[in-house]
Every structure is written in C-alpha cells, then in structure tokens.
C-alpha cells in the first residue's frame, strides 16, 4: 500500500499540531516537514503527498514530483484564498483532508513563467484590482468589493503604460501599449477569471492573457465596475485577449513580473503551458470545472480596443488621460464634416430663409405643427456645433467659420421675420409667440441636454438621425423669428425677451457640446480648459436674467396652486377661483391676476372688497412689500 504524506512548512508546525493531527481524517498520514520530505529518496509514483505550506514550498514539492511522479493534493491555509479558489479546496480542514486523500487523481496542465510554476496567476505590470492585495479583499460581500474598488481607484492616477511587444506560440506578433496584463491557465474565481470565463472554457492546453490598456481614467473606472462587481460578462473596452500555448513579453520601459503575488523580476519574460504536467488529487467540483473545458489548435487574439498604430501608442505611453483620446479615423471624419457644415453656403442661406418663413407664419397661425416643420428645416444647429468644437480646440478656422455662419443665419432670420411682420396686418400675441417670451433656467437645461445630444450624435454616425429630435427640442429659429416679429411691430420688449431665449439656447448648446466633445476624446483637458471656461462664463451671465424669470415662474406656480385649491367664504357665499392667469408689469411693479369667480350668485361691492382682501392675504407670502395687485375677475354662477 502506498504512503500518504502530509507535508508542511515549519511556519505551520503549531497549527498542524493543534488543528490537523487531532482530526480523524489525519489518521494514517505520515507527517513531515518540507525539508525532511524533499530529502527522502524512497518516494514512489503511487504515493499521495498532501501539501500544507506557503506557495514557494509548494512549488519546491511540485518540482520534486516531476522527478518521482507522485500525486499532489492541497489543504489550503486560511490566508491562501487564491489557492483555495483555484483548486476548489474547502476551508474546513477535515473536509479538505478527506478530499486530498480520497479525491480522484488526474493530470492537469501547468503554466510556467520562464522556469517557475504559476499556480493561479501571473501579473505583468500594474493592473488593479488584479494582484494579491486587491484580490484578497474580494470575499464575496458587497462591503469587501466596495473596499477593493476604493483601493483600486486610489491607484488609477499612478498608472503608467509601457510599449509592449508580444509573440505567441505560433509566432504571431502584437505591438501595443499596456499598463498591465494577467495570465492564467485555470479558473481561479478572481476578477480576471470572471472576465475570462468564456475563454477559459475553451482554453484546454492554453494560457489566457488579459491585456489591460485603459484609454482614459473614465474607461478604467468602467473596467473596475465590471471586474469587481460583475455588472457585465462581456469584455470591457479597456481590455484585450490573447489565448495561446505560449507567450513572450517584452516591454519598454520594463514591467515588473509577479507570480502568485510574489515579485519575480522584470520583463522580458516567457509564459508556456506544459500539458498534463502534474497529477493532482482534487474535489469533484474542480474536475467538473476542468471537464467542460474544450479547445483546439487555434490561437485567439482580440485587441481591437487596444492602441496599435504608432500615433496611438505614442499617445498611450505618455499618460492615461482623464478622458479617452479619439482615434485617428473618427477624428478625421468628424472634423471633415464639421468644417463643411461651418461654411456659409447657398444651401444654408436658402434653408434659413425658408425655415424662417415657415416659423413666422406658424407663429401667427398659432400652429405648432408648422413651427415644428420650421425647426426641422433650419440648418442652424450645424454651425453652432462646429463653433463649439472650434472654441474647444481654439481652431481659428473652425471657430470663425462657425461663428460667421451663425451670425449670417441670425441676421437672415431677423430680416425675414421682421419684414413679414411689418407687411402682414396681424398684431396679436398668439400663445406660440407668448411661449417664447419668458425664458427660464429650464430652457437653459433643455439647451444643455440638447447640446450633449447633438455632439454625441455627431460623433456616432449610427444615430445621426437623432439630430432631428434635437432640433425640435431646442427650437433655434422660432425664438429668433419671434424677435424679428417684435422688431417688425416696433415692440422692443418682445424682441429682447425672445432673443434672450435664443442666446440661452446658443450658450447652452455651445458649452454642452464642447464639454461632450472633450469627454469623447477630441481635445485634451489642458487644451480645452480655456474654451470651456469662456463658454461656461457666458452660461453663467445668461443665467442671471433666467434666474429672475425662473423665480417669477415658481412664484406664479405657488400663487396658482394656493388660489385654485382654496375655497373662500364671504358672508354666506362659497367662492372658488378658476382659470387663473398671471401677468407681471415690471415698470410699476404690478401683479395682474385674471380669473373666473365661481359662486351661487352675484357679488355685492362690499363682498368684492372683502374677497380682494382675502385673496391678497392668501398670496402675501409670495408678494414683495411694494408690489401692487390688480384683479380682473369675471363672475360665473354655478347652480
């Protein structure tokens, strides 16, 4: 009968004496230290050696087993989470011993880094959360994962990339830039294996390398969420994959190499899988996981999201920016389109005039459908977005051409709508016109959201059709047309109020579009900050009058809610207020309230005086001390 050995290192001697030897499962085992066991010369291939030691001692025994051919099994220490997860070892010593003695023994592939065994993973460079310190925090609970995320986040801004040259077993060469890479051969339930599980299921006889190259800090945050919390099983944008029987790694500057959490030197380094190299006794759970693994002779290389051109590599190795850098093809396509759209062409002039005619007539007709048609026809959004990019990058040509087209477009709209208003015999302020005379902070929010949407749609040809919706949402031409109507009528109040709405839309779109283009990687932060500060300053200045009108809007809403939900009792009458309209006249600080009075009979003069006092008292919290109130009431009898 073959001997079963329990081999431990001297650091574990006390724990072995108190927690292992007394177990029933330990009866019949031959207990020996690593040093004593390695000195033996009578070990046979039928022996089973159970290891309870630190990683370096385990690897010494594994190297010894290559000579004598015996079976190896593991009982993991409490601190050896990665070993336990890789070989599915129970944390309970008694159960682990039973599996080690009675578990099925089979041959497994082993990963080598140069001449050293890799038990669970190798890390090249720096790639949080991968590595022993961060992985040790991942015990499954949300709190531990949050701690791992925070610990990884603190390292992001220290990350640096190296230019890396990879050569696979079949001599395929890859040149890219990486902050780090993780190489594994077995599913070890780490962050890396969670991301690579789809590939590990088809990697029999191969290693799987996770290549990590964040294009930006924002990209890396997304990577951390996926890796730590498992929000997505698809490969993150910041990562690539190589699956091969071997992999040579060179880096400039050199990257540190860690094997099973211990630093082993610097690149260059070679990884290689030795097939059926070690006979292991393990749990049924481990063998089930190994049995489903398939594989063929094909190598897998997925690096489409990693830098590969010289320009991309030069940019990537300089630093990891806050936002991603747009690739050359995308950059070229967008700037070509924007330069074309920034020019003042005959088509631009014709469309501006036609859209203005539609908008102005629609405003007079109080037809929202005609006004919407004018919004869709107007091409004014295009030069505004081009102007935003020119401001962001301080591109003089793009900036000036965009601004010139915007100014020409505004002048055309004002001239056309003013002429039409002067010639047509209409002087009524329709609801469509009135709706553009009181811009507030809410309109600025609409403009900012529209600017983000416009820039994002410009960057993504697949959703370029969404610009029609943006044009409807932000409505650039109708406010200018309303301003032109004010000029045609000689009413400067209408002109100023409506033009303020256009300026609000313009400032909001420019700031939001510039910010979005920066986030999308079309300008580094250091180059974009001046343009962003300037556009933000304009937004802040525009916000001053908008804040005032917004406060009036809030005031009107409170007054309406109070008066239209309250029942007034005057003498023997029950009175309600309906259809309340509020108007402000700033010249003499007067508040006009127009409404219907609903009661069972008509009012006397005294009753009306009492009612006015009650109404004034009800809305006093929202009135200024010097503000005058004028009531315009129509009485309705309900019976």
The single-letter DSSP state of residue 206 is -
Least confident stretch, 121-125, 189-193, 405-409: 189-193
Instruction: Give the pLDDT confidence score for residue 164 in this predicted structure.
Output: 93
Query: Which of 310 and 125 is assigned the larger pLDDT?
Result: 125
Q: How confident is the model at residue 462 (pLDDT cuts 50, 70, 90)?
A: low
What is the bridge-based pairing of β-strands 162-168 and 173-178? antiparallel
- CA-to-CA separations, 168 to 119, 178, 251, 428, 564, in angstroms, rounded: 21, 16, 15, 78, 77
d(CA 612, CA 377): 50
Instruction: Give the pLDDT confidence score for residue 465 in this predicted structure.
Output: 58
pLDDT at 414 over 90: yes
- Identify which of 61, 58, 78 has the alpha carbon closest to the alpha carbon of residue 70: 61
Q: How confident is the model at residue 400 (pLDDT cuts 50, 70, 90)?
A: very high
Percentage of the chain modeled with pLDDT above 90: 52
CB 408 within 8 A of CB 501: no
Percentage of the chain modeled with pLDDT above 70: 92
**φ and ψ of 58, to 5 deg:** -60, -45
Taking residues 236-250, what's their average pLDDT? 91
CB 422 within 8 A of CB 488: yes
pTM over 0.75: no
Q: Please write the tens of the pLDDT for every residue from 477-487.
A: 999 999 999 99
Q: Please write the tens of the pLDDT for every residue from 8-22.
A: 999 999 999 999 999
Taking residues 241-262, what's their average pLDDT? 93
Q: Please write the tens of the pLDDT for every residue from 263-277.
A: 989 999 999 999 999
Cβ atoms within 10 Å, residue 338 = 24
Taking residues 340-353, what's their average pLDDT? 92
Q: Please write the tens of the pLDDT for every residue from 116-157.
A: 999 999 999 988 888 654 455 455 567 777 777 787 777 777
CB 423 within 8 A of CB 486: no
Query: Which of 525 and 264 is assigned the larger pLDDT?
Result: 264
* 374 bridge partner residues: none
Q: How confident is the model at residue 300 (pLDDT cuts 50, 70, 90)?
A: very high
Q: Please write the tens of the pLDDT for every residue from 53-100.
A: 999 999 999 999 999 999 999 999 998 988 998 999 999 999 999 999
d(CA 546, CA 559): 20
Mean pLDDT rounded to a whole number for the chain: 87
Domains in the chain, ordered, with CATH? 4-103 (3.40.50), 117-275+293-318 (2.60.200.40), 328-547 (1.20.1080), 566-637 (3.30.70)
């Amino acid at each position: 009968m073959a001997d079963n050995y329990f081999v431990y290192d001297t650091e574990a001697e006390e724990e072995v004496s108190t927690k292992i030897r007394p177990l029933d499962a330990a009866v019949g085992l031959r207990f020996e230290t690593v040093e004593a066991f390695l000195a033996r010369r009578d070990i046979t291939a039928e022996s089973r050696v159970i290891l309870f030691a630190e990683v370096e001692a385990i690897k010494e025994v594994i190297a010894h087993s290559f000579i004598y051919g015996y079976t190896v099994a593991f009982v993991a220490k409490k601190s050896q989470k990665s070993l336990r997860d890789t070989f599915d070892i129970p944390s309970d010593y008694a159960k682990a011993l039973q599996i080690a003695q009675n578990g099925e023994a089979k041959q497994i592939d082993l990963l080598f880094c140069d001449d050293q065994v890799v038990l669970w993973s190798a890390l090249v460079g720096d790639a949080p959360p991968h590595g022993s310190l961060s992985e040790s925090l991942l015990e499954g609970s949300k709190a531990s994962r949050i701690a791992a995320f925070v610990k990884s986040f603190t390292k992001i801004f220290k990350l640096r990339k190296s230019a890396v040259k990879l050569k696979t077993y079949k001599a395929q060469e890859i040149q890219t830039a990486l902050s780090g890479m993780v190489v594994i051969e077995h599913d070890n339930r780490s962050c890396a294996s969670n991301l690579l599980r789809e590939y590990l299921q088809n990697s029999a006889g191969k290693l799987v390398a996770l290549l990590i190259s964040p294009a930006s800090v924002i990209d890396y945050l997304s990577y951390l969420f996926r890796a730590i919390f498992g929000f997505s099983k698809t490969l993150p944008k910041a990562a690539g994959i190589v699956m091969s029987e071997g992999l040579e790694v060179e880096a400039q500057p050199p990257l540190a190499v860690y094997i099973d959490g211990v630093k082993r030197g610097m690149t260059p380094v070679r990884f290689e899988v030795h097939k059926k190299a070690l006979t292991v006794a393990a749990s049924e759970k481990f063998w089930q996981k190994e049995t489903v693994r398939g594989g063929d002779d094909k190598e897998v290389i997925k690096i489409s999201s990693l830098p590969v051109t010289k320009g991309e590599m030069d940019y990537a190795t300089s630093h990891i920016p806050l936002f991603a850098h747009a690739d050359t093809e995308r950059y070229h396509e967008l700037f070509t389109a924007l330069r074309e759209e920034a020019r003042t062409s005959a088509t631009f002039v014709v469309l501006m005039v036609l859209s203005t005619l539609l908008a102005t007539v629609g405003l007079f007709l109080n037809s929202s459908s005609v006004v919407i048609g004018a919004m869709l026809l107007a091409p004014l959004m295009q030069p505004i977005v081009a102007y935003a990019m020119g401001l962001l990058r301080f591109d003089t040509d793009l900036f000036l051409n965009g601004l010139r087209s915007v100014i020409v477009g505004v002048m055309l709209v004002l001239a056309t709508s003013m002429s039409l208003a002067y010639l047509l015999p209409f002087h009524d302020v329709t609801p469509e016109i009135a709706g553009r005379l009181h811009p507030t902070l809410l309109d600025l929010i609409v403009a900012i959201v529209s600017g983000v949407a416009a820039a994002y749609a410009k960057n993504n040809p697949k959703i370029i059709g969404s610009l029609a919706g943006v044009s409807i949402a932000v409505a650039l031409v109708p406010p200018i047309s309303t301003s032109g109507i004010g000029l045609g009528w000689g009413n400067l109040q209408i002109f100023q109020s409506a033009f303020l709405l256009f300026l609000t839309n313009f400032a909001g779109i420019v700031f939001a579009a510039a910010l979005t283009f920066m986030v999308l990687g079309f300008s580094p932060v250091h180059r974009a900050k001046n343009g962003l500060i300037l556009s933000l300053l304009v937004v802040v200045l525009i916000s001053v009058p908008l804040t005032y009108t917004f406060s009036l809007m809030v005031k009107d809403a409170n007054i309406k809610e109070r008066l239209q939900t309250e029942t007034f009792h005057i003498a023997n009458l029950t009175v309600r207020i309906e259809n309340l309209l509020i108007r402000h006249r700033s010249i003499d600080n007067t508040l006009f309230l127009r409404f219907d009075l609903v009661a069972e009979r008509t009012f006397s003069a005294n009753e009306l005086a009492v009612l006015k006092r009650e109404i004034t008292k009800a809305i006093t919290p929202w009135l200024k001390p010097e503000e005058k109130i004028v009531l315009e009431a129509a009485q309705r009898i309900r019976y």
